[in-house]
């Protein structure tokens, strides 16, 4: 009978694994008597002792044991990708439930996996983590873990996550903290659902669990993120959207509190406000000191705008910026980021003599309430580029290049695609959410189409790469900066 374990895909020539007779297609069943669960678990088990005992299964079902002196090092094998775990929640604002129909299958996957949380900073509600998995996190020191708390009040949390068994999130968090694991937390805030006294209790409960001197394991940060609703909420519970007035009130109330909490936390920000509060409130994002030194929760949309502004300020004054001189490009982005980008581009044009322009693309796919760059689809960007060309007289050479937000592109290097597209041919060219590819967009527009990267320096690299024809033939991922790709839904990137 087939045993569980992880399949070996390649064996490095000259490696210990090859010496021991391991072959591609074999399954690593156990290491030192413990079942191998996945890649992370393999890395943990194989580094525990200088001598390692393996139980291996051949494709024909036969097994053999072998002992290796590996000195706590890897064996020289690549293992099969792990399948992603899916969540057991039914959150009232789940983005997957609000997706239009017809996108590729992997986008509807409700992944919730502590391994992705540890490796990529994905947030997990811990719904699929029982005590055994929490023990595993502690034993393998998968720290920090990113946890979606939403509310510590059990009744409110059940109302948010739609799962009557998942009200007591503090029990799970305390299990991790007791084991010395650090935790970043977030609450997605929806008016009338988990704001007001519920939010205050969440804040108090998590603040009480912040890191203390001489103690391992603490809640490193709490971010609040405004709820994101699309135009596709048919048959879903009513959730109130965040109005501009609500966002302004939130910013006015909590911006000073962020500073108070930072002061009480030895100067390091602990309470974090996502950029989206400021863009929805139509107010300037705060200065650098408002964000943590390590840009904690950047992937969650906390500080992306400020980091972009800081980088742009320095870059525009550098000699390298002169590489933009004379360039004519149209920069497409979401309507929430467009005002910031327009300001930066005006300064770049003034300083370098470039002719860049910014256009906000409407999100026809998800609806006008979705204003972030990362959720623009290829057809939305195509429409915006054509509209701009018409407005400029319809000439074929109206710009030299169209720049699309990196955050709107996915390559199949993202964890979710890796996990779900196992065995499917990998595409290298960069694909929008609706499966239009960057080369297809460029062909349609008749000009180069390049990803923005995470800052102006990346953008210049990409424009220069396009000059050299580096994006031809779909060889996108070898010619571009990967920063900014595969960001979580809702994150900003120009």
Under the rule (CB under 6 A), what is the footprint of ligand SF4? 87, 89-91, 94, 96, 110, 112, 125
CB of 440 vs ligand SF4, minimal distance in Å: 29
- Closer residue to ligand SF4, CB minimum distance, 232 or 320: 232
CB of 122 vs ligand SF4, minimal distance in Å: 9
Rounded to the nearest 10 degrees, what angle do helices 378-391 and 438-445 cross at? 20
d(CA 184, CA 296): 9
- Closer residue to ligand SF4, CB minimum distance, 26 or 113: 113
CB of 185 vs ligand SF4, minimal distance in Å: 14
Longest dimension (CA), the chain: 73
- Closer residue to ligand SF4, CB minimum distance, 158 or 479: 158
- Closer residue to ligand SF4, CB minimum distance, 110 or 355: 110
- Closer residue to ligand SF4, CB minimum distance, 22 or 99: 99
55's CB contacts (< 8 A; 6+ apart) are: 28, 29, 30, 31, 63, 64, 65
CB of 373 vs ligand SF4, minimal distance in Å: 21
Q: Which two tokens stand for residue 6?
A: 């992880």
338's CB contacts (< 8 A; 6+ apart) are: 358, 359, 360
Minimal CA–CA distance to 253: which of 203, 193, 184, 306? 203
351, burial (CB in 10 Å: exposed 0-12, middle 13-18, buried 19+): middle
Quickly count: other Cβ atoms within 10 Å of residue 253's Cβ: 9
- H-assigned helices in 270-355: 275-281, 304-316, 338-352
Q: What is the DSSP string of 194-212?
A: S-HHHHHHHHHHHHTTS--
Question: How, if at all, do strands 409-410 and 431-432 pair?
Answer: antiparallel
- Closer residue to ligand SF4, CB minimum distance, 51 or 168: 168
Question: How, if at all, do strands 431-432 and 401-404 pair?
Answer: unpaired
CB of 236 vs ligand SF4, minimal distance in Å: 11
- Closer residue to ligand SF4, CB minimum distance, 125 or 152: 125
- Closer residue to ligand SF4, CB minimum distance, 35 or 94: 94
Q: Which two tokens stand for residue 34?
A: 């413990």
Sign of CA dihedral 312, 317, 319, 324: positive
- Closer residue to ligand SF4, CB minimum distance, 129 or 352: 129
101's CB contacts (< 8 A; 6+ apart) are: none
CB of 109 vs ligand SF4, minimal distance in Å: 9
C-alpha distances in Å from residue 283, one per residue of 21, 244, 295, 337, 363: 63, 10, 20, 12, 22
CB of 430 vs ligand SF4, minimal distance in Å: 25
- Closer residue to ligand SF4, CB minimum distance, 127 or 431: 127
Per the CB < 8 A criterion, the answer to whether 152 and 205 are in contact is yes
**Partners of 271 in beta bridges:** 222
CB of 92 vs ligand SF4, minimal distance in Å: 9
Cis peptide preceding 144, ω within 30 of 0:
yes
Per the CB < 8 A criterion, the answer to whether 263 and 311 are in contact is no
- Closer residue to ligand SF4, CB minimum distance, 91 or 138: 91
CB of 437 vs ligand SF4, minimal distance in Å: 26
Minimal CA–CA distance to 162: which of 86, 92, 85, 112? 92
CB of 124 vs ligand SF4, minimal distance in Å: 7
CB of 94 vs ligand SF4, minimal distance in Å: 3
Beta strands in 32-154 (DSSP E): 34-35, 51-57, 63-69, 77-79, 145-148
CB of 89 vs ligand SF4, minimal distance in Å: 4
Q: What is the DSSP string of 98-114?
A: GSPTTS-GGGG--B--H
Q: Which two tokens stand for residue 353?
A: 């003599």
- Closer residue to ligand SF4, CB minimum distance, 95 or 480: 95
- Closer residue to ligand SF4, CB minimum distance, 95 or 291: 95
CB of 163 vs ligand SF4, minimal distance in Å: 9
């Amino acid at each position: 009978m087939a045993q569980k374990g992880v399949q070996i895909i390649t064996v490095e020539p000259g490696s210990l694994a090859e010496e021991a007779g391991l072959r591609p297609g074999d399954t690593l069943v156990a290491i030192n008597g413990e079942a191998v669960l996945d890649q992370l678990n393999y890395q943990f088990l194989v580094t525990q002792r200088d001598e390692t005992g393996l139980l291996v299964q051949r494709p024909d079902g036969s097994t053999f044991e072998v002992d290796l002196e590996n000195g706590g090092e890897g064996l020289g094998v690549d293992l099969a990708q792990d399948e992603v775990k899916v969540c057991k929640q039914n959150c009232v604002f789940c983005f997957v439930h609000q997706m239009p129909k017809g996108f590729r299958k992997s986008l509807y996957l409700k992944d919730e996996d502590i391994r992705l949380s540890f490796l990529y900073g994905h947030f997990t509600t811990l719904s699929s983590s029982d005590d055994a998995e929490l023990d595993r996190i502690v034993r393998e020191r998968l720290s920090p873990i990113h946890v979606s708390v939403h509310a510590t009040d059990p009744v409110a949390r059940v109302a948010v996550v739609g799962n009557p068994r998942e009200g007591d999130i503090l029990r799970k968090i305390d299990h991790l903290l007791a084991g010395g694991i650090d935790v970043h937390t977030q609450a997605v805030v929806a008016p009338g659902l988990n704001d007001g006294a519920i939010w205050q209790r969440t804040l108090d409960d998590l603040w009480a669990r912040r890191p203390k001197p001489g103690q391992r394991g603490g809640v490193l940060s709490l971010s609040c993120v405004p709820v994101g609703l699309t135009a596709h909420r048919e048959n879903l519970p009513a959730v109130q959207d965040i109005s501009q007035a609500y966002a302004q009130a939130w910013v006015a109330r909590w911006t000073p509190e962020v500073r108070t909490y930072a002061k009480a936390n030895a100067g390091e920000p602990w309470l974090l406000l996502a950029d989206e509060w400021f863009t929805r409130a139509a107010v300037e994002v705060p200065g650098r000191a408002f964000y943590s030194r390590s840009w904690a929760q950047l992937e969650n949309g906390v500080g992306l705008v400020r980091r972009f502004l800081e980088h742009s300020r320095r870059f525009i004054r550098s000699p390298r910026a002169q590489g933009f001189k004379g360039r004519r490009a149209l920069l497409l982005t979401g309507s929430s980021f467009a005002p910031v980008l327009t300001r930066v581009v005006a300064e770049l044009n003034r300083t370098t003599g470039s002719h860049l322009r910014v256009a906000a693309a409407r999100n026809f796919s998800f609806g006008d309430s979705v204003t972030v760059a990362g959720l623009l689809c290829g057809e939305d960007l195509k429409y915006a580029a054509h509209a701009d060309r018409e407005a400029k007289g319809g000439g074929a050479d109206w710009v030299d290049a169209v720049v699309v937000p990196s955050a709107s592109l996915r390559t199949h290097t993202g964890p979710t695609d890796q996990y779900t597209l196992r065995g499917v041919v990998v595409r290298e060219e960069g694909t929008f959410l609706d499966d239009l590819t960057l080369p297809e967009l460029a062909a349609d527009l008749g000009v180069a189409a390049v990803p923005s990267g995470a800052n102006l320096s990346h953008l210049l690299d990409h424009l220069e790469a396009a000059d050299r024809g580096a994006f031809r033939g779909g060889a996108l991922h070898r010619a571009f900066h990967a920063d900014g790709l595969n960001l979580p839904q809702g994150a900003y990137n120009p």
